[in-house]
Structure 1
Amino acid sequence: MSSLVLVMLVGAVVGTGVLLLVSVLDRSPVSGPAGLAQIDARRERGARTASLTADRRHRDESVRLRKVGAGVSDLLAARGIKLSSSITANLGIVGQSRETFLARTLLAALVGMFVPFIVLAFPLVTGMFGTPVIPLWLALLGAALGALMPWAQLNKDAEARRRDFRHVVSSFLDLVAMNLAGGRGVPEALQAATSISDGWAMVRIRDTLEAARLQGTTPWAALGQLGDDVDVDELRDLAAALALVAEDGAKVRDSLSARASSMRRKELADAEGRAAAQSQSMLVAQLLLCVGFLLFLTYPAVARVLGG
């Protein structure tokens, strides 16, 4: 039986290697639209990599992972498959490249596919099961669960970082309003507001404004694009308000302060909601402990009655 399990493992590894080799060596002719889509995807990849300067973790990403992920990304782009906008926004707020995410997803899927073989290897060898065959659906289920792990971790990290980013944006709005009240123009007010802190969110905003200055685009357009990249509505609202200041000469200092105040009230309400949810989970845990203790106390009497 052990030799049969070994043969199954070797066959699975060889089959996976053949599949990856065919995917890598597939050089079928590319149509014009597909070629243009690949060029656009590579251009967007370079822009995203350059925009992640505020997060130092992308510099520590493995080069091999990025190469594998780039191959997977090109393969998906050639077949017209794109990541959803929510995943792209989460990658933008976390500071992780799409290639690394795809490589980690592929690696996690491969590990998840072999987990059933590893877990059930001992029962199969000892003959605990009637047949030494692991169903294919079990391996596919393990691969699917493994592929979902990086996605779940990405959503969790993105939610936490987006909450921190909104907190920084509320402070940034107050600083911009104070600088506008001091008589500074919009670019000077934005630059002065970003120079207060060296936190990752403020550095991300500062790098965005610096890139806009070097590229010759307006700061509010760059902030709006950053809001789209990280899916933060408050940055889009700030970009629209600053555009009104530049185009129509509107006085939005009070509006920016009101937006910052409303954001802080929303953050306070969210914090209170999370605290209430944690308190509720603690109550459930205490209730379960009480039920377990009551069962422990009543079990001898119930067992004696039923046994008698």
Structure 2
Amino acid sequence: MLNWQLTLGVVGGSTVGLGVFVLVREMMPATPALGPALRRLHQPAAPVGSTPSSRNLDWLSGITRWLRPPTRQLALIDQTPEQYTLSIVTSALIGLALPSVSAALLFLAGVHLPLVVPVVAALGLSLVAALIAHQSVLSKAQKASREFRQAVCAYLDLVALQLSAAHGPVQALERAASVCDGWVFERIRESLRMAQLQMHSPWDELRDLADRIGVAELGDVGAIMQSSGTDGAQVNETLRSRADSLRDQIRTDNLAKAEAVTSRLDIPGALLVFVLMGFVLYPFVARI
């Protein structure tokens, strides 16, 4: 007769032993397969800035060339032209579908519209949705540009402080970029890392980044630091004066923007005065 206690002990011991064996086997370093390792080492180089998501959108390249996306604004907000095209096409399709769906629901409800009404509405709403998506990208880029300029103003002061502390020009750029957080300084640090990996001068890399994203103030940092790195010039005062002028420029732009907003608020105020005058004059006019 089979002893169930012995059977249970053997099965339990075998399970525990198998678990210990699998655990020890997974903890031991395994010998990698030669074929996949060689394929990983000899992968074709992907273009700079390409991501898996952008490579999945390569089928949009033809539409992208036709749309002519704003490359500098997209580079500033870290978007690819394919992503921009996808947002424009998606917005246009949504605008194209809404009137058709609404017309179909009205038809099921017993309301019959002429065919030209949903067609014209679909085309018009599709164009409006695409323009809204395009304007959203431009507004995001404008906001990011203002934030980048303010960060560059602080970066100029930080580089001047690092130079005053007897650091070299390259080290001053790297140490100043590592002080602060934020997406602007992360872009600067990434550019400096690329210059170090590709054996380029950091000021040339900063000027390339400034030209790519359309922020000329960052190119000024590269131009000033180039004279310090190549000619050995003392550029502390130049950096500080450029930071002061940039602050004045930012302050002037903010004041101009505030005045524009204030002038737009004058129109509702004037309309309110006319409405109040109407309420005051109405009893006298009604008696005549």
TM-score range with shorter-chain normalisation? Answer: 0.7 to 0.9
Show the counterpart of 2:111: 126
TM-score (norm 1): 0.69
Superposition RMSD in Å: 2.8
Show the counterpart of 2:157: 174
**C-alpha distance in 2, partners of 1:253/1:217?**
23
Unaligned runs of 5+ in 1: 1-41, 51-58
**C-alpha distance in 1, partners of 2:257/2:181?**
28
Tell me the alpha carbon deviations over residues 54-75 of structure 1, each in whole angstroms, 9 at most, x when there is no partner: xxxxx9xxx5xx57743112x2
**C-alpha distance in 2, partners of 1:299/1:123?**
44
1:47 equivalent in alignment to 2:44: no
Q: 1:283 aligns with which of 266, 272, 284?
A: 266
**C-alpha distance in 1, partners of 2:67/2:195?**
27
1:270 equivalent in alignment to 2:258: no
**C-alpha distance in 2, partners of 1:192/1:266?**
26
SS at match of 2:49: helix
| CA shift in 2, pair 1:213/1:136, >3 Å | same
For 1:83, the aligned partner's letter is: R
| CA shift in 2, pair 1:122/1:224, >3 Å | same
Show the counterpart of 2:88: 105
- Superposed displacement of residue 122, structure 1: 6.5
Q: How does 1:1-308 map to 2 (within 5 A)?
A: 46-49=47-50, 66=54, 69-73=57-61, 75-76=62-63, 81=66, 83-84=68-69, 87-118=70-101, 125-127=110-112, 131-134=114-117, 136-299=119-282, 302=285
**C-alpha distance in 2, partners of 1:304/1:122?**
52
Tell me the alpha carbon deviations over residues 111-132 of structure 1, each in whole angstroms, 9 at most, x when there is no partner: 11223334555676524x5x34
Tell me the alpha carbon deviations over residues 207-248 of structure 1, each in whole angstroms, 9 at most, x when there is no partner: 111121122211011101110121001111221222222222
For 2:111, the aligned partner's letter is: T
- Superposed displacement of residue 256, structure 1: 1.3
8 Å CA contact 1:117–1:134 kept in 2: the answer is: no
8 Å CA contact 1:113–1:143 kept in 2: the answer is: yes
- Report runs of 4+ in structure 1 exceeding 6 Å deviation: none
- Overall identity of the aligned pairs, in %: 30
Unaligned runs of 5+ in 2: 1-43
| CA shift in 2, pair 1:184/1:275, >3 Å | same
**C-alpha distance in 2, partners of 1:158/1:99?**
16
**C-alpha distance in 2, partners of 1:299/1:88?**
57
For 1:72, the aligned partner's letter is: L
